[in-house]
């Protein structure tokens, strides 16, 4: 018999027949599962906290990466104590980057929900930036800015092939962000970038391996930065991405750190597990093996 589990469903996904089939599948096995559907995104924390107060020992995020992020932030709270409850995932989003990065069978929701209800949980790192938590990837620069600020008609006009960081750099004639990387015990490193990713896990942006060396339990964050110039030398950039830690790289830079700060000379957009934020200073840190996750 499973521990008490509560499936918190994104309302947009709740009416999908495959979700009902998955719930019936686990119930047919005698598994104890409660289902809760928040009215909207703002209501989700209340629903999760209510489930915990009622004795839920597993909170299953039924939705995309944004739903996962909400569950993580409620479970972690102020970050002072390790949560007692376990997190599972029923991947119902468009990309499901976190679930794919965890190796979940995203094309089989019945199996995913059964895994979330019954499988052992693993101690997983939780990343923090400016007091907010994330468990997958924080991506910043022009990809995040375009997502946050570009009207849908322009995105459509750019086309699927052009709607990549390189395509956008060329199409919009962007200027790089200027700023500094601050690492405790080291001199500030000045530079520029058009795209960056801070990975606790490997995948973002619909399955792209933006942090290839990232592991969920290594106590490190993987910082990948694309600096100015690759629009004119895409071939070299692609070569450098295959050797991320090569000190001779000109356009692609990769480091693994437990804490660091990024300062930008102007507002920098960051996509935090699907949630957009904007600031000029971002302080990153890690809570090692702080949350138990079924993956």
Mean pLDDT is lowest, of 105-109, 116-120, 148-152, 234-238, for: 148-152
End-to-end CA distance of the chain: 19
Taking 60 as the threshold, does the pLDDT of residue 2 lie above it? no
Other beta carbons within 10 angstroms of residue 248's beta carbon come to 6
Is the CATH code 1.20.140.160 the one for domain 134-286?
A: no
Per-residue pLDDT tens digits for 92-128: 998 899 999 999 999 999 999 999 999 999 999 999 9
The proportion of the chain whose per-residue pLDDT surpasses 70, expressed as a percent, equals: 86
Clarify whether 81 is annotated catalytic: no
The yes-or-no verdict on residue 157 having pLDDT over 90 is no
HSE (CB half, 13 Å, CA atoms) of 218?
Answer: 13
Q: Tell me, what's the pLDDT at 70? A: 96
Q: Taking 70 as the threshold, does the pLDDT of residue 3 lie above it?
A: no
Q: Compute the average pLDDT of residues 16-37.
A: 95
Lookup: tokens for 61: 């995020």
Three-state secondary-structure class, residue 238: helix
pLDDT at 82: 96
User: Between residues 1 and 251, which one has the greater pLDDT?
Assistant: 251
Confidence of residue 162 (pLDDT cuts 50, 70, 90): very low
For the chain, state the CA radius of gyration.
20
**Domain 5-119: which CATH class?**
alpha beta
From CA 136, how far away is CA 133, in angstroms rounded? 10
Catalytic site residue from 27, 49, 57, 275: 275
| Sign of the alpha-carbon torsion through 234, 236, 237, 239 | positive
225 pLDDT above the threshold of 80? yes
Range in 85-89, 150-154, 181-185, 220-224 the model is least confident about: 150-154
- Tell me the mean pLDDT in the region 194-220: 91
Would the pLDDT of 131 be above 60?
yes
Provide the residue ranges of all domains of the chain, joining segments of one domain with +: 5-119, 134-286
- In this prediction, residue 159 carries a pLDDT of 42
Containing 290, the helix (H) or strand (E) segment is strand 275-293
For residue 278, is pLDDT > 70?
A: yes
């Amino acid at each position: 018999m499973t521990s008490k589990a509560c499936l918190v469903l994104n309302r947009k996904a709740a009416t999908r027949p495959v979700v009902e089939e998955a719930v019936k599948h686990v119930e047919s096995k005698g598994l104890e599962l409660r289902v809760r559907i928040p009215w909207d995104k703002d209501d989700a924390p209340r629903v999760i906290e209510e489930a915990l107060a009622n004795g839920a020992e597993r909170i299953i995020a039924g939705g995309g990466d944004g739903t996962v992020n909400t569950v993580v932030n409620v479970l972690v709270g102020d970050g002072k104590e390790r949560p007692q409850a376990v997190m599972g995932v029923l991947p119902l989003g468009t990309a499901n980057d976190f679930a794919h990065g965890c190796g979940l069978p995203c094309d089989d929701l019945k199996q995913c929900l059964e895994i979330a209800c019954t499988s052992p949980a693993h101690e997983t790192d939780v990343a923090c930036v400016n007091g907010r938590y994330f468990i997958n990837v924080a991506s910043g620069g022009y990809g995040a800015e375009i997502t946050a600020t570009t009207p849908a008609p322009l995105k459509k006009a750019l086309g699927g092939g052009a709607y990549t960081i390189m395509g956008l750099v060329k199409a919009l004639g962007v200027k790089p962000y200027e700023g500094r990387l601050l690492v405790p015990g080291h001199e500030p490193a000045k530079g520029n970038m058009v795209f960056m990713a801070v990975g606790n896990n490997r995948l973002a942006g619909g399955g792209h391996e933006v942090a290839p060396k990232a592991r969920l339990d290594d106590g490190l964050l993987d910082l990948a930065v694309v600096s100015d110039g690759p629009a004119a030398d895409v071939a070299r950039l692609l070569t450098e991405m295959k050797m991320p830690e090569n000190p001779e790289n000109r356009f692609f830079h990769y480091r693994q750190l437990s804490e660091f700060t990024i300062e930008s000379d102007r507002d920098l957009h960051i996509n935090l597990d699907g949630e957009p934020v904007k600031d000029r200073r971002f302080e990153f840190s890690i809570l090692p093996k702080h949350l138990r996750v079924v993956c």
